[in-house]
Structure 1
């Protein structure tokens, strides 16, 4: 009798185990690094979690978190919607895209902090500057990914839409967006992370409220425990959002390319 093949573990279970092992390795490495440098430089994982819990229980923390969340939400909408519309227009009009793409790539490669004085002159201090700086970080990758996605749409789709006499709005919603959706989702994922980064940097330099403001004040006051606790909070939130968006991206790519 032939031996039966051993059952294989599901791919999802293996991926989960790999993630848990990576998390354990990071925590262990963090603990050893804290022991090597001392709590004055890097607090231990358990101490950091406890400090973060006390920080989040403070009466004014909710206001700072709401300030950051509001600025980030508005900047994210501007980045995603504005990047989608501009990218689709530049991708559909090839000459405009070819002229604009090098400018966008050059702007994308410049450290955005060098443009912060210009943002302050245009928008002043406060919420508007944070939103503008967040959108400035996030909108460019969305434009570039959307523009390249629209360029690569098979011409038969465009001809089919024209033969059905679709209006420009219908062509955009029914042809351009569905056909280029996988790359658009990839651009959205990058735009999300960069918009959050830009919003936090904006709060660090031109705000009196928000998570970024708390972070820069902790640096000025030399409070490493608060710095590490806030960094942990941001890493957890950004990683969770990135995993969700990556899962969505894989699902979309699998549906349209599988």
Structure 2
């Protein structure tokens, strides 16, 4: 194990311990009215994980999130490469992307419900629209920052657009593109959960919204703990990979 990996693990452990201590102190101050202690939450989470209903909701969320993420990556990267390589298209469409990105996405959800109904398709679409634009914008900037000599070399070698993207642009711009994918991952997860919270009968977001309505603090804390654990672990892994890619480029 390298020194950088050991340092990253040490930092992660310290952060987890700090969060647990802060959580316990906050619980002592607030009490059972709005919180549960870390130990109580972990115990209830273990009990929740032993129910088949929970795994059904988890599978629904995982399926919607994975499909939404794949769509966001495919459309985001395609749009980013297209606008990054075409100056005219970028000047016309990039301001539009930024304008759409500034719109609160929740205002678009009624339209998506009319288009896709109350099924999984609406959740997938809502999750995807959260991730597409950040991935596209990061990809645009990554392509622009590629040294022009690399692109000229590809032209001299007679590479077609797809070959140039695969063999030159992607390797050269990968660290910045991966940073966009990391942000797109988080936003797509948020969008998928929001879609489940507002108009769905299945999924982790639905369970969380139902628990809020019933003031089921145990379930709220358990689901929040699981979501935080998943998002934090995934973000940490993606951040570590991103730093390794940046180090290799340097």
CA distance in 2, matches of 1:163, 1:149: 22
CA distance in 2, matches of 1:176, 1:59: 46
Residue segments in structure 2 that go unaligned for 5+ positions in a row: none
Specify the alignment match of 1:17 in structure 2.
10
1:122-201 to structure 2, matched below 5 A, reads 122-201=115-194
CA distance in 2, matches of 1:62, 1:103: 40
Change (3 A) 1:17 1:125: same
CA distance in 1, matches of 2:141, 2:11: 34
Count of equivalent residues: 248
SS in 2 for 1:90: helix
Q: Are 1:115 and 2:82 an aligned pair?
A: no
- Please give the root-mean-square deviation of Cα atoms over the aligned residues, in Å: 1.3
Specify the alignment match of 1:103 in structure 2.
96
Q: Deviations over 1:14-62 (max 9, x none)?
A: 4433432332222122112112211121011000011111111112111
- TM-score norm. by structure 2 comes to 0.95
Q: Are 1:85 and 2:87 an aligned pair?
A: no
SS in 2 for 1:160: helix
Change (3 A) 1:17 1:248: closer
4+ residue segments displaced more than 6 Å: none
SS in 1 for 2:52: coil
- TM-score norm. by structure 1 comes to 0.92
1:12 CA displacement: 4.5
Larger radius of gyration: 1
Residue segments in structure 1 that go unaligned for 5+ positions in a row: 1-9
Q: Answer with 87-96 or 167-176: which moved more.
A: 167-176
CA distance in 1, matches of 2:139, 2:128: 16
1:187 CA displacement: 0.4
